[in-house]
Structure 1
Amino acid sequence: MAAALQTSFAGLRLGAPVQKRNAFVSNGNAQKLAMKAKHTFQVEVVVGSDEPQDMAMKRFRREVMSTGLVQEVRRRRYFENSVELKKRKDRESRVKAKRNRQFPPKSYSQTTAQEPSPFSDMFGTPEDIFADVLVGDDAPSLA
């Protein structure tokens, strides 16, 4: 049992408690850049001593998906000629541009301005024939 916990799972380290490291904040851009430049893949998740394994697996899966490892493996499965390379690069650039597109900030008046509800001009006026009718809890019961 102990030997099974000491094995590593594609960068996921399980087993003995890990010494506390200085935490660093990273958005993964440096890792993605290094991965593309060196054509190597290293996804690592440090598991805490009291962290459940399923939570560590979820973090590992999320990290693998965010680095684009699965897409790269699928791409490398077959030979990619220059035409396919251009198509892929174009497709990736469109996705990247869509993800990085910034919209102008909306002002408060634009977000709170709502159109009047339908038929609002017919109700709530002095000419409204149903203005004196009570509806809901305010209506007197007949029983």
Structure 2
Amino acid sequence: MNCEEFREKMFLYPDVDGDFFLHLQSCEECKKEFDKFLQVEKIISEKVYEAGIREEWERVSLDILKRLRLEAVKRKILIIFLIFLELIFFFLFIFVIYRFLKVFSFNFSFIYLIFKGLLVLISQMNFYLFY
């Protein structure tokens, strides 16, 4: 887990996984930020308790957590859709190249170069999608 993922999951605390705590132990900067987050959360809960609006605050905070979880699910669905779309374009491209070569020639070194170039292109696209 990197620091950016940690910051996203920090707002879902205490509903976090083991990677969250592993990163917390290994990164001093994130540990400081998480300590500040816990201090702010404690101050807010004390003020809410003093003001007597605890039920309203719990309702709003649960709504915010639901929205954060929904956004994470939407992001995963989008990534899966993009991978599926990438595979469709890949096979469509291969089909078009195959038909082209079948009509004009059977030069298999050309097919190898096209595959190699296409794999490089896909790996670069995946790098920009997932990192």
TM value normalised by structure 2? 0.29
**Which of the two has higher C-alpha Rg?**
1
Q: Which has the higher helix share?
A: 2
TM-score when scaled to structure 1? 0.28
